[in-house]
Amino acid sequence: MTEETPGFEEKPDVPSGATPDDAEPKAAEPSEEEAAAPAGDTDPTVGLTAQLDQVRTALGERTADLQRLQAEYQNYRRRVERDRVTVKEIAVANLLSELLPVLDDVGRAREHGELVGGFKSVAESLETTVAKLGLQQFGKEGEPFDPTIHEALMHSYAPDVTETTCVAILQPGYRIGERTIRPARVAVAEPQPGATPTAAKEEKTDDEESGGTEEV
């Protein structure tokens, strides 16, 4: 029998070239994901809320850009339509301005009874056409003189008017809508200086005929 030396324990055989540490098992090292993860539990809704806020902000910006572009486009369409109408009105006015002397000749021929036969048919067709294009004639005898639509070529005084009045239309005026393309050329009369207007004379005469003022 082999005697055992007290105080000594037998150790397992260690291969040659190996250190004592290699013989002991090592603890498993944590992975990179586990090392990068913060300590404690992380709420996943925090990240989702932040992403949702970013998406909402971007959506609001894109919506504002779209609304601004739509408003600019609507303003552009209105400007184009307004310019188109203005250009059309100017073109029509220029064309009709060239026809005014012809219309004046037609009017003089009608006044002298010369508008007969085929010439009458042509003249009436011309007047109908220009009326469809919006041409309107204005200017009548007896209407008050308005310097914005009348052009006074002759001036006189008359005892039977109470204000400056058109007493003769030398050439009629023409307009398209609110645009005057030629003022009416007229002869005007003003009240006679120092003369009592006819209306006042008639009123005074009526008072005299009724016996005047009654005494109390």
Give pLDDT tens digits for 95-132.
Answer: 999 999 999 999 999 989 988 888 899 999 999 999 99
* Domain 135-199 bears CATH identifier 2.30.22.10: yes
* Percent of all residues in the chain with a pLDDT value above 70, rounded to a whole number: 69
pTM: 0.56
Buried b or exposed e, range 19-31, using 16+ CB within 10 angstroms: eeeeeeeeeeeee
| DSSP type of residue 155 | E
Q: What is the pLDDT of residues 131-178, one digit of tens each?
A: 999 999 999 999 999 999 999 999 999 988 999 999 999 999 999 988
Q: Residue 30 corresponds to which tokens in the numbers above?
A: 């944590």
Domain boundaries, the chain: 46-133, 135-199
Q: Kindly calculate the radius of gyration of the chain based on its CA atoms and give it in whole angstroms.
A: 53
Task: Provide the pLDDT for residue 215.
Answer: 39
Q: What is the pLDDT of residues 13-71, one digit of tens each?
A: 555 555 555 545 555 555 555 554 454 456 778 888 888 888 888 999 999 999 999 99
Task: Report in angstroms the alpha-carbon separations of 175 from 93, 107, 153, 178.
Answer: 9, 17, 19, 7
Q: Tally Cβ neighbours within 10 Å of residue 100.
A: 17
